[in-house]
Amino acid sequence: MKRLFLSMTFFLSLVCSVIFAQQPAKKLREGTHNFTLQWISWDKPGKVQIKKQKDGTYTVKGEQRGEDGDFVTIDGTLTVVTFAEMTFTGKIQTRYANINKGEVCDKTGTYHFLAKGARKYWRLQEMDNCEGNNVVDYVDIYF
């Protein structure tokens, strides 16, 4: 009986591993994606264009515009680590009238976007706004 139980357990684990191994991996979709900075609006997203390059990376470029000259822009390259994690190299600029004295916050370099849990977007992990004082920018690219 014990041998039968162990055999069945082994067989079921083998079947499950084959089934899960055959599931297609999620891929970054080329095309237009929603793009937001929480200070501007989650209800009126901007847009970014994502295009795959020959080397397997993706270009990303776009913006969200709000009132009073508020905006977030992104221009650079995404490297997919996993579907939930991407590395971004390029420039992200944010501007919101009531933060950082209304000045542009410029982030140029390499940054990280993650999709956590059931979220339907990747969020910039280096969230600190140039103002400091625990002010954070939620810059999101939606699936």
Domain boundaries, the chain: 31-142
Give 102's contacts (C-beta < 8 A, 6+ positions apart): 95, 96
CA-closest candidate to residue 65, choices 54, 74, 76: 74
Are 35 and 46 in contact, with CB atoms under 8 Å apart?
A: yes
The pLDDT value recorded for residue 48 is 98
Q: Report CA Rg, the chain.
A: 21
Are 76 and 88 in contact, with CB atoms under 8 Å apart?
A: yes
- pLDDT tens digits, 4-62: 444 444 444 544 444 444 444 578 899 999 999 999 999 999 999 999 999 999 999 99
Out of 2.60.40, 2.40.128, 3.30.200, 1.10.3110, the CATH code matching 31-142 is 2.40.128
pTM of structure: 0.80
Helix or strand (DSSP H, E) at 142: strand 139-142
Are 114 and 100 in contact, with CB atoms under 8 Å apart?
A: no
Are 123 and 13 in contact, with CB atoms under 8 Å apart?
A: no
The length of the chain is 143
Q: What average pLDDT is seen over the chain?
A: 87
